[in-house]
Amino acid sequence: MSGATATGANRGVPTIGRDGAVRLVGPGQRYRRSRRNQLVVWWREIDRVLLGLIATLLLIGVIGVAASSPASAHRLSTRSVQIAELHFLWLHLKWLTVGLVALVGCSMLPKDTARRMAVMLGGTMLVALMLVPLAGFDVNGARRWINLGFSFQPSEFLKPAFAVGVAWMLSWRVRDPNLPVIPLTTALMGLVAALLMVQPDFGATMLFGGVWFVLVLLSGLPVARVAWAFAGIVAFVILAYFFYPNATHRIDSFFSGGTAFDQVDLAQKTLLGGGWTGAGLWLGVKKMSLPEAHTDYIFSVIGEEFGLIACAVIVVLYATIAARVLLRLQEENDLFTILAAAGLTAQLVGQAFINIMVNLQLFPSKGMTLPLISYGGSSMIALCAGVGLLLAITRRNPFLTRDVTRPALPLADVLRR
């Protein structure tokens, strides 16, 4: 009897096909069918419009890195070491491949699993951020990187995890309105800010602060407290200017000239050098003297080689991503989903517009890349993982437009609860 059972298990289990015939399906076939079903469910539930917008930005990034790679390779080459013109393009494609795996993998996670993974990632990166002053190494005068067998920047991976983690903490008030979620998230923001300012990384500190402010604002913070929070941010910037040399240097350079200002000024001239339609791929001239052409100032390179129209398209794409997420959340009942999606979008779009404003000479230099477009190693993987979390959190069963146990509430009513 046991032998017959083992033989039956090896041969497979009987299943009824679409034509009504009974067939034996082996373990391998069942696994493949299960994986295929998961992909079908993922494709039906994911926001395909949002996925298309993200894919478009990634494709523009490949073209932008191809355009800027010769400038960075020329600038970093020496008499003894010559870097190939497309060196950064091939590296970008390698990191992008890993990033795409992270994007698809994260987007396939159930919402609760995505939240748990983000919280664990946030805790791990917070510990790594504490180790940066002790075990990190300097790049361009700032200690932001750590080497644990491979080099990475903990703050980049902390960005999406921070948005999801703060959203999760703020959503606790649905279960218990008396929980001190605002003080808890404020303390977390203060810890992150202190660790970033030590590196120093004033730009990332402002980005984290902006995401935190958006989340506490959406969570239903009273108007009086909103005013106090805004006043606190202004006071922080003023104190940073007077007592934090990195902020003082960047702000003074922006208003009165200096090395950082010269870079921003050159970026603006490069951006405007191609006119409306651009000089053409690899025909830009001003980009050759532009520092960090493949990272911080890739927007200017795109402007010179593809024109201001291409730059306007990029701006519209980021704005459309924000609008698409807001539309996706219109009939959402779950406060965590609303806050997490809003926080991840604020982090992505906020970083993009800071970078764009720097290139337009409307903001002090921040050393911040253009998300999903600039060249990056660990930053590209982190950004793709963050976008994957956004896609996972905004997934929706197309056959269930609302919670069947209660009517869908408008977004404003959910936030007031």
pLDDT digits (tens, 9 = 90+) for 290-337: 888 888 889 999 999 999 999 999 999 999 999 999 998 887 888 899
Q: What share of the chain has pLDDT > 70, as a percent?
A: 77
pLDDT higher than threshold 80 for residue 137? no
112: pLDDT strictly greater than 60: yes
**Averaged confidence pLDDT in the chain:** 81
315 with 109: CB under 8 angstroms?
Answer: no
Distance CA 344, CA 360 (A): 24
Return the minimum-mean-pLDDT range out of 67-81, 250-264, 312-326, 342-356: 250-264
Distance (Å, rounded) from C-alpha 329 to C-alpha 408? Answer: 11
Does the pLDDT at position 261 exceed 70? no
What pLDDT is attached to residue 403? 47
pLDDT in tens, 44-103: 889 999 999 999 999 999 999 999 999 888 888 877 888 888 999 999 999 999 999 999
pLDDT recorded at residue 13: 55
Q: So what's the pLDDT on residue 413?
A: 53
pLDDT at residue 48, as a whole number: 92
Q: Is 50 exceeded by the pLDDT of residue 8? A: no
Q: What is the mean pLDDT of residues 115-130?
A: 92
Classified as helix, coil or strand, 137 is strand
User: Which range, 139-148, 366-375, 391-400, is most confident?
Assistant: 366-375
Residue 410, pLDDT score = 47
> Would the pLDDT of 9 be above 50?
no
Residue 142 has pLDDT above 80, yes or no: no
Of residues 40 and 137, more confidently modeled = 40
Domain locations in the chain? Answer: 1-45, 47-416
User: Does the pLDDT value for residue 165 go beyond 90?
Assistant: yes
pTM of structure: 0.81
- Given a contact cutoff of 8 angstroms between Cβ atoms, the answer to whether 7 and 24 are in contact is no
- pLDDT for 116: 93
* Residue where the block lists tokens 């600039």: 374
**Range with lowest mean pLDDT among 54-63, 197-206, 254-263, 275-284:** 254-263
3-state secondary structure string across 232-290: HHHHHHHHHHHHCHHHHHHHHHHHHCCHHHHHHHHHHHHHHCCCCCCCCCCCCCHHHHC
Which of 145-154, 289-298, 380-389, 406-415 shows the lowest mean pLDDT across its residues? Answer: 406-415
Contact 296, 374 (CB under 8 A): yes
Q: Which of 16-20, 107-111, 175-179, 316-320 has the lowest mean pLDDT?
A: 16-20
